[in-house]
Amino acid sequence: MKRLTAILAIPMLALSVMLSGCVMIESSSISSGAAGGQKVSASASDWGVLALTAPYGVTNSANSQLASQCQSGKVGNIQTELSMRNWVLVQVYSVTAAGVCE
């Protein structure tokens, strides 16, 4: 009976480690003093190997999405939020950006 319990405990422990994850959220804002306009938002995500590589171009993708939503292509009062979720060997990066068309 003890052996059966040990055999079942190992997969359960491995599953709980794989399903758990730390979440870190960082945010920043760039204010250009734009009075008002159409509010726009965008998001992008990608993954990297935990603490070894980070995805390239996630913020560029979110910025391009913001600019494409404005007729002038200019965005002000930008606020961004970066969230990183750590899994066992993978880190998922998500960038959310919001701004106002100038």
pLDDT, tens only, 27-39: 666 665 555 788 9
In the structure, how many helices (H) and strands (E) does the chain have? 2, 4
For 48-88, the pLDDT digits (tens) are: 887 778 788 888 899 899 999 999 888 888 888 888 888 77
Residue 22's pLDDT band, with cuts at 50, 70 and 90, is low
Which residues sit opposite 79 in a β-bridge?
Answer: 29, 98
Three-state DSSP class for 93? strand
Note the pLDDT of residue 79: 86
Q: How far is CA 6 from the centre of its chain?
A: 38
Q: Residue 28 has which token pair?
A: 């920043």
Residue 76 DSSP label:
E
pTM for the whole structure: 0.66
Q: What are phi and psi of 15, to 5 degrees?
A: -65, -40
Mean pLDDT of all residues in 6-28: 64
